[in-house]
Amino acid sequence: MGTVLTRELLVKWAPLIVLIVLILFFAAMEPRFFSMRNFARIGISSAPALMVAIGVTFIIIMGSIDLSMEGTVSVCAVIFAFAFIAWGGTLASVAWLALPLALVVGGIVGLINGLVHVKLKIPSFMASLAMGFVGTGFALLLTGGDRIRVEDELFRGLLTTRWFGFPIMCYVAVAFLLIAWFIQTRTTLGRNFYAVGGGEDLAHASGLNVNRVRVMGFALAGVFYAVGALLAVGRIGIAETATGSNFMFVSITSVVVGGTALWGGIGGVWNTLIGVLIVNVINNGMVVIGLPGYVQDGVLGALVIAAVVLSTDRKSVTFVK
């Protein structure tokens, strides 16, 4: 019993301890790391990644995997940019309608993703990987490989306007984090995610429509991918086919390192916040102290393996659904 408790406590608190140790380590190596300017930099890189990782979290809690985020982010970013420019090019005009449009597009892509997975009985990682490719291809078809610039000062205020040293996009990310936490803890849908991830057969037996929960989970994830897309465009002022690049690695790494179990039923959005911060503190800290990119990737890879080893009871492990 004592061993189980110790293991559970370790799994629960290890990500936060790792984050604190990393911050102290980088601050000791390079004093510039521990500055408001640098923390704002970490916040800017973390905000879009956090939104995408929250979407992934809901899927992984159900015991599934979603690999469609790069294509979904690209499609949402490109459609948003085209609509925004076509409708006036400034938030002061009706172009603000491009914001909810992007969320709807994300939800629709997620919905299709879930339906392909559930109705055609294709494993989630294969269905979502295919949808990701479709999304990236569609974004390329729309743009023809071109970049769409979004130069509206009001929209770019996500990055340029700062409150207490942090840009508005960080506060937007926190607001959606709280919405995600509310969905996770205070809604029937959120509880159903855990029920499906904890045991699909048991959920079926208790009268839960597992397929519907899965489809709604993928649709919800798509909406959060769209928020990530909007923040990514706000950060660089450009929408393109490559807007979604690298989100797959960063988001799934963040979810796993944060302590959400790949087998489902364990973890949540606060774990994901810690995971995203760990990944971005490592990336930022290693740049600040002058280490090359391949070292960053190696450290992140080692952290993922350690996190999975810690969170997995290999006596009862099953394959990811």
Per the listing, tokens 């409150």 go with: 163
Look at residue 317 and tell me if it is in a domain. no
- Which domain, by its residues, includes 102? 43-245+262-267
Per the listing, tokens 């023809």 go with: 144
Count the domains in the chain.
1
Look at residue 256 and tell me if it is in a domain. no
Query: Burial letters for 55-74: b for 16+ Cβ neighbours within 10 Å, e otherwise?
Result: bbbbbbbbbbbbbbbbbbbb
What are the pLDDT digits (tens) for 59-98?
Answer: 999 999 999 999 999 999 999 999 999 999 899 999 999 9
Look at residue 318 and tell me if it is in a domain. no
What are the pLDDT digits (tens) for 270-291?
Answer: 999 999 999 999 989 988 888 8
Which pLDDT band, with edges at 50, 70 and 90, does 314 fall under? very low
Look at residue 131 and tell me if it is in a domain. yes
Look at residue 284 and tell me if it is in a domain. no
Look at residue 68 and tell me if it is in a domain. yes
Look at residue 316 and tell me if it is in a domain. no
Which pLDDT band, with edges at 50, 70 and 90, does 1 fall under? very low
Closest CA to 125 of 252, 216, 239, 257: 252
Per the listing, tokens 């290999």 go with: 314
Q: What is the mean pLDDT of the chain?
A: 90
What are the pLDDT digits (tens) for 94-144?
Answer: 999 999 999 999 999 999 999 999 999 999 999 999 999 999 999 999 999
What's the rounded Cα separation, in Å, for the pair 126 and 116? 10
Look at residue 207 and tell me if it is in a domain. yes
Assess whether pLDDT exceeds 70 at residue 315. Answer: no
Give the pLDDT of residue 202.
83
Which pLDDT band, with edges at 50, 70 and 90, does 263 fall under? confident
Handedness of CA 298, 48, 251, 66 (dihedral sign): negative
> pTM to 2 decimals?
0.93
Mean pLDDT, range 199-222, rounded to an integer: 90
